[in-house]
Amino acid sequence: MSTLAGVVLAISSVVAAPAASADIPGKDEIVKSPNISHLANIPKEGPFANVNALNSDWAFQGKYAFGGNYEGFTIYDISKPATPKVVTQVHCPGAQNDVSISGNLLFLSTDRSMSDDSCQAVPMPATEKAAWEGIKIFDISDVRNPRYVKAVETKCGSHTNTLVPGKKGTAYIYVSSYSPSDTFPDCKPPHDLISIVKVPLKNPTAAAVISEPVLFPNGGNPGDPAGTPWPNGTSATSGCHDLTAYPAKNLMAGACMGDGVLFDISNPEKPTTITSVRDDENFAFWHSATFNNKANKIVFTDELGGGGAATCNTTIGPEKGANAIYDIVGKGAKRKLEFRSYYKIPRPNADTENCVAHNGSLIPVKGKDIMVQAWYQGGISIYDFTDSSKPKEIGWFDRGTFADTLVTGGSWSAYYYNGYIYSNDIQKGLDVLQIKDKATDKGARVKLDELNAQSQPDYFDQD
């Protein structure tokens, strides 16, 4: 663990938006819509600077941003968004190190089989019974010196984690994981479940798995057979990739490989399925989900190619590797999901750019549904889906290809927090953006003390 000085790069001049594939920006060239300002960039540092040390997800609290990386996590001071600074880097390897925050605690997902639960562990085959994967808990009351306080092992590790507030000083961590194997002692099929970790916030050393609810008692989507020609084929459901809770509405949206699901979490220890949908024609891998603020729509993402392929091109087209927007219709246990449209960024990308729909969050504008979203090397897109049948882009930011060959890069997560967009670029580090547009300006008035994008707040306390 070390405290490092932040270095803010000067931002080069930008060029006009590319009009056609011939105008795809050059290597590292920045292009953007006129309503976007690129305020700052802090490159990856120290052990995180390696090309294999991928930046991942975000959580926010007060004046701090917490950025995951396959080698650990970084805490940034964002009190002055145009001049952010690195406060602390915690070196604790264990892909993919997604983060969530609750009070003085940070929860870190380890989805790599390691020799033990320490931050000095090394990779170990999942076929070994002694291998460890799961949730690590840090005390961040002193942001300059986070303290590792607890580890909780979970089946198949923790690819992502979702924080669901409980009562009387309790939080629940919903752990998503997948890809079981008969050869893995702690991750055998069928893996149709999630793990729920109960955390007493004032006594985190007592955190433990309290249940492993089976969400797909009928096995979920069986998927297409191996060998289905690219880019066709839907993943079999063997767990969930990502869960987005909306605690104020007692709802949760699940992106579960071959299924998109709406859950009731009124009893956070016993989530129940309300309804589910499939799209075997165009969705390969249900990856993540975002509610609109009224909780009558869900944007699901399809991570075609696992985030490592070039899918933003005319060969793949506009309906694969895209978002699917669904309306939630009906009431109570009779609610259903009805498909309305796809949304995919309209700009072509080079064949050396991994590009597909990825993590984003709402921009809180009352009466509107506006989202900012990461698209890996496709950059960042801001779009309005108030009319769920006709989503439209209103702003964007992009860099040219990271390398001359296809290397995993680009924006992993782009979230809106207290008036600014924070992007965790896999290779380039922290980017801070600001959008100034009549469609989004009111969003800057909404201030939060804490944001976990997978635990959505009700921005306007709507009934």
3-state per-residue secondary structure call for 69-126: ECCEEEEEECCCCCCCEEEEEEECCCCEEEEEEECCEEEEEEEEEECCCCCCCCECCC
Is the pLDDT score of 412 beyond 80? yes
Report yes or no on 461 lying in a domain.
no
Report yes or no on 4 lying in a domain.
no
Count of residues making up the chain? 463
Task: Give the per-residue pLDDT at 22.
Answer: 54
Which CATH number goes with the domain that contains 96? 2.130.10.10
- Average confidence (pLDDT) over 406-433: 98
Residues 6+ apart with CB under 8 A from 270: 211, 213
The Cα 432–Cα 303 span in angstroms is 24
Determine the structural domain holding residue 433 and report its residue range: 21-451
Report yes or no on 223 lying in a domain.
yes
Residues 6+ apart with CB under 8 A from 288: 241, 242, 244, 255, 300, 301, 303, 358, 359
Burial of 63 (0-12, 13-18, 19+ CB in 10 A): middle
Any idea what the Cα angle at residue 363 is, between residues 358 and 367, rounded to 5°?
Answer: 125
Report yes or no on 210 lying in a domain.
yes
Model pLDDT for residues 33-54, shown as the tens digit of each residue? 999 999 999 999 999 999 999 9
Task: Give the per-residue pLDDT at 10.
Answer: 31
Task: Give the per-residue pLDDT at 255.
Answer: 98
Task: Give the per-residue pLDDT at 23.
Answer: 75
Say if CB 244 and CB 253 are below 8 A apart: yes
In this structure, of 17-31, 68-82, 371-385, the range with the lowest mean pLDDT score is: 17-31
Task: Give the per-residue pLDDT at 9.
Answer: 31
Type of residue at 185: P
In this structure, of 17-26, 230-239, 408-417, the range with the lowest mean pLDDT score is: 17-26
Of 307, 263, 262, which Cα lies nearest the Cα of 284?
A: 307
Task: Give the per-residue pLDDT at 21.
Answer: 54
Task: Give the per-residue pLDDT at 141.
Answer: 98
Say if CB 97 and CB 70 are below 8 A apart: yes
Report yes or no on 457 lying in a domain.
no
- In this prediction the pTM is 0.95
Tokens representing 160?
A: 């992502």
Model pLDDT for residues 263-296, shown as the tens digit of each residue? 999 999 999 999 999 999 999 999 999 999 999 9
Tokens representing 37?
A: 């300002």
How many domains in the chain? Answer: 1
CA 117 to chain centre: 23
Report yes or no on 336 lying in a domain.
yes
Mean pLDDT of the chain: 94
Report yes or no on 258 lying in a domain.
yes
Report yes or no on 5 lying in a domain.
no
The Cα 123–Cα 114 span in angstroms is 4
